[in-house]
Structure 1
Amino acid sequence: MLTLYTIKTCDTCRKAKKALESKGLPFQTHDLREDGLSASLLEHFLEHVPVLALVNKRSKTWRDLPAQAKENLDANSARELMLANPTLLKRPLLDTGEEIRIGFREGDYDNLHG
């Protein structure tokens, strides 16, 4: 089953959810703010995606980080920051069971099948 990792207040996440619903695909949602981010879940993402590709540098969470944390960002510090601030992850994240898709634009899910 597909899993869509979102934040309820994210417009792009809502669009991704509607796209899956319109295709009639079964999926579950996981709200990163409410349901959290465990170390094992983060490692699951990182099996498919480079760590720095997951960091959302356009988010309010990123902007609110101390300058030193942003300047010295590497794979280890990015892991720590994302675990402490799950809203720092780019979203939505779609786990198809075979891959992790980051973000959403119209048409991104057209090739998914139930």
Structure 2
Amino acid sequence: MKIYGLKNCDTCRKALKQFPDSSLVDIRADGMPDGLLEAAYAEFGAKLVNTRSTTWRGLSEAERGGEPLALLRTHPALMKRPLIERDGELFLGWDQNTRAALGAA
């Protein structure tokens, strides 16, 4: 299982603590694997962009109106976190539904 997020994100650390055998991929430092961002956007759509983040609030109206995938490539911290990949299946966020689907306590 791979957890895509930021190493200093509390939510990503909670997910990593729950699944110590998984690995955290820091999307700011390491980027996203080819095709994963597109696959995640195809599955989750606009929910992939965290419009409640400080990064989002710092963007101009023109930037906010840009193409979501381009925004996420330019500003990785805009991605809702964590994005979890397990056996080709994607999960977004760390809510109760995601934890239940992954078998987390």
- Into which bin does the TM-score normalised by the smaller protein fall? 0.7 to 0.9
* Count of residues in correspondence between the two structures: 103
Q: Deviations over 1:47-102 (max 9, x none)?
A: 4322x1100011111111112222x35xxx11111111111100011111242111
How many percent of aligned residue pairs carry the same amino acid?
A: 35
TM-score by length of structure 1 reads: 0.76
State how far apart, in whole Å, the 1-side matches of 2:90 and 2:33 are.
16
State how far apart, in whole Å, the 1-side matches of 2:98 and 2:40 are.
19
Give the alignment of 1:1-114 within 5 angstroms.
2-21=1-20, 26-37=21-32, 40-50=35-45, 52-70=46-64, 72-73=65-66, 77-105=67-95, 108-112=98-102
Q: CA RMSD in A?
A: 2.1
Kept after mapping to 2: 8 A contact 1:39/1:83:
no
Change (3 A) 1:98 1:37: closer
TM-score by length of structure 2 reads: 0.82
5+ residue gaps, structure 2, are none
Structure with the greater alpha carbon radius of gyration: 1
